[in-house]
């Protein structure tokens, strides 16, 4: 079973994302900021990380830069999931090491589509 | 509520004008699509709109109703495997066969433009192909074409199928939406086309995409359109149908991604001249 780490300081968003990902067959873990996510990743790298940008303690951008510098940190696919919708900000996230970018508000179809395009989901429901 | 008689009237109108098969029992769909036409045209309700249509037989109003019922769902890079195959195999082969002449590509029933723009972005990102194609988009719906030509999409639309790298490379934010760059927009020409009309006047094309509409047409209309598309293919040209459309009367090339050639034309792409557009058939008609 593929694993996904959901990193978001909003409990509601984590819950919504968890439901979407579990419906798509993922095993889900949660972290509420970049430091917690880092701790999780040092134990075991997930297949994919759904990553909020603005969070206390360590934000998503700093997290992805640090992750990519860790041993094995190139492995997880990182999908930002953020309320930032400016093109320059999205470019910044991709340049920092993210593979994909989802703008909030999002839905299950958008998440499934991005996972499919990254090769993490075989079948895409029509 | 639109009553069954009125729904049957709309269904028959769609069939007669555009070969579209609209199930008269789909009251929610019919009501929803006609509500926006009614509002736009100044009617209090879809029922009033249908009454006016019945009474006057107004040509333009009739088309407005049919076009609203025809609007296909579409998204960027729908069925990614199709686009990968076109980029890696079909387009390079067509460009090579055309030896410097532009490759002519037509997105038939292009809806709001995502399909042909996906191809345009792909071509723009491929060295050697960027300036080697003429892209055309056509649809029955004027409103879809207006939106396609504007190239302005909602946040939701740019997240369906379009990779974030593509968004960053080719779009800029405008208000709440995202505007496609002029460079990509200018690669495509648009024209309103009813597929039941004579398609031969548009000349022949090296690549036709018709992935959104056949399944919505009545069986007789499907046969007619398939045959017309076969004739609109240049020698060695390729036709992409929807994955559920089926390629009866055509030559299968890679049916798993909907790729076909004209009857008897499955061989290598070659440089036989294309039949060009005639008279009123120029695709270079501004809306």
Rounded mean pLDDT, B164-185: 97
Q: Is residue B286 part of a domain?
A: no
User: pLDDT above 70 covers what percent of chain B?
Assistant: 95
Domain range annotation of chain A: 3-117
Nearest to B163 among A85, A91, A117 (CB): A117
Nearest to A103 among B80, B159, B165 (CB): B159
Closest-CA residue of chain B to A112: B160
Give the pLDDT band (50/70/90) at residue B39: very high
Res B151: pLDDT? 97
H helix runs in A9-126, sequence order: 11-23, 34-43, 60-69, 87-95, 108-117
Contact in structure between B200 and B229 (CB atoms under 8 Å): no
Give the pLDDT band (50/70/90) at residue B287: very low
Q: Give yes or no for residue B285 having a pLDDT over 90.
A: no
Give chain B positions within 8 Å (CB) of A113.
Answer: 159-161
In this complex, is the C-beta atom of A106 within 8 Å of any C-beta atom belonging to chain B?
Answer: yes
In this complex, is the C-beta atom of A103 within 8 Å of any C-beta atom belonging to chain B?
Answer: yes
Give the three-state DSSP class for B164.
helix
Question: Are B22 and B118 contained in the same domain?
Answer: no
Contact in structure between B133 and B123 (CB atoms under 8 Å): yes
Verify whether the Cβ–Cβ distance B164 to A94 is below 8 Å: yes
Q: Which helix (H) or strand (E) holds B191?
A: strand B188-192
Question: Are B128 and B270 contained in the same domain?
Answer: yes
Q: Give yes or no for residue B20 having a pLDDT over 80.
A: yes
Question: Are B118 and B235 contained in the same domain?
Answer: yes
* Total number of domains in chain B: 2
Res B275: pLDDT? 77
Res B131: pLDDT? 82
CATH 1.10.150.570 fits A3-117, yes or no: no
- The average confidence (pLDDT) of chain B is 90
Res B127: pLDDT? 82
Query: What ipTM was reported for this prediction?
Result: 0.94
Q: Give yes or no for residue B271 having a pLDDT over 80.
A: no
Q: Which helix (H) or strand (E) holds B7?
A: helix B4-18
What would the pLDDT profile of A46-63 be if each residue is shown by its tens digit? Answer: 999 999 999 999 999 999
Among A67, A7, A52, A57, which Cα is nearest to A32's? A7
Question: Would you state the structure tokens that stand for residue B146, as one six-digit string?
Answer: 């207006």
Question: Would you state the structure tokens that stand for residue B111, as one six-digit string?
Answer: 């809806």
Among A15, A12, A93, A8, which Cα is nearest to A52's? A8
Question: Are B109 and B250 contained in the same domain?
Answer: yes
Give the pLDDT band (50/70/90) at residue A124: low
Give chain B positions within 8 Å (CB) of A91.
Answer: 168
Question: Are B118 and B173 contained in the same domain?
Answer: yes
d(CA A106, CA A103): 6
- For chain B, how big is the Rg over CA atoms in Å? 19
Give chain A positions within 8 Å (CB) of B165.
Answer: 94
Q: Give yes or no for residue B79 having a pLDDT over 60.
A: yes
Q: Give yes or no for residue A126 having a pLDDT over 50.
A: no
State the DSSP code for B159.
Answer: G
What would the pLDDT profile of B40-76 be if each residue is shown by its tens digit? Answer: 999 999 999 999 999 998 999 999 999 999 877 789 9
Res B144: pLDDT? 93
Contact in structure between A18 and A30 (CB atoms under 8 Å): yes
What would the pLDDT profile of A21-45 be if each residue is shown by its tens digit? Answer: 999 999 999 999 999 999 999 999 9
Nearest to A110 among B159, B163, B168 (CB): B159
Question: Are B139 and B276 contained in the same domain?
Answer: yes
How remote is the C-alpha of B212 from its chain's centroid?
7
d(CA B180, CA B82): 22
Dihedral sign of CA atoms B43, B48, B49, B53 in order:
negative
């Amino acid at each position: 079973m593929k694993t996904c780490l959901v990193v978001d300081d909003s409990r509601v968003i984590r819950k919504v994302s968890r439901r979407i990902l579990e419906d798509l067959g993922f095993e889900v873990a949660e972290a509420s900021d970049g430091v917690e996510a880092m701790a999780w990743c040092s134990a075991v790298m997930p297949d994919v990380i759904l990553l909020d940008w603005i969070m206390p303690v360590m934000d998503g951008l700093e997290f992805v830069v640090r992750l990519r510098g860790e041993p094995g940190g190139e492995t997880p696919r990182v999908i930002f999931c953020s309320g930032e919708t400016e093109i320059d900000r999205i470019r910044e996230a991709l340049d920092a090491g993210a593979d994909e970018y989802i703008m909030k508000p999002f839905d299950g179809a958008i998440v499934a589509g991005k996972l499919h395009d990254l090769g993490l989901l075989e079948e895409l429901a029509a | 509520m639109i009553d069954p008689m009125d729904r049957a009237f709309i269904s028959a109108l769609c069939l007669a004008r555009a070969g579209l098969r609209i199930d008269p029992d789909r009251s929610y769909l019919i009501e929803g699509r006609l509500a926006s036409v009614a509002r736009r045209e100044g009617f209090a309700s879809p029922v009033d709109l249908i009454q006016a249509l019945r009474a006057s037989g107004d040509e333009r109003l009739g088309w407005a109703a049919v076009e609203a019922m025809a609007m296909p769902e579409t998204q960027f890079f729908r069925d990614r495997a199709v686009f990968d195959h076109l980029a890696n195999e079909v387009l390079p082969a067509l460009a090579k066969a055309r030896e410097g002449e532009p490759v002519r590509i037509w997105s038939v029933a292009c809806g709001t433009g995502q399909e042909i723009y996906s191809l345009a972005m792909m071509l723009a990102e491929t060295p050697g192909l960027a300036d080697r194609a003429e892209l055309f988009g056509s649809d029955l719906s004027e409103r879809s074409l207006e939106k396609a030509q504007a190239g302005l999409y909602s946040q939701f639309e740019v997240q369906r199928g379009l990779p974030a790298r593509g968004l960053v490379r080719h779009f800029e934010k405008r208000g709440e939406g995202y505007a496609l760059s002029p460079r990509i927009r200018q690669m495509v020409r648009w024209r309103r086309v009813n597929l039941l009309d004579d398609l031969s006047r548009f000349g022949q094309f090296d690549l036709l995409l018709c992935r959104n509409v056949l399944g919505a047409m009545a069986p007789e209309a499907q046969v007619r359109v398939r045959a017309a598309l076969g004739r609109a293919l240049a020698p060695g040209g390729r036709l992409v149908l929807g994955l559920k459309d089926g390629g009866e009367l055509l030559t299968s090339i890679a049916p798993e991604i909907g790729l076909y050639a004209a009857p008897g034309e499955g061989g290598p792409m070659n440089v036989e001249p294309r039949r060009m557009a005639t008279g009123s058939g120029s695709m270079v008609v501004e809306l």
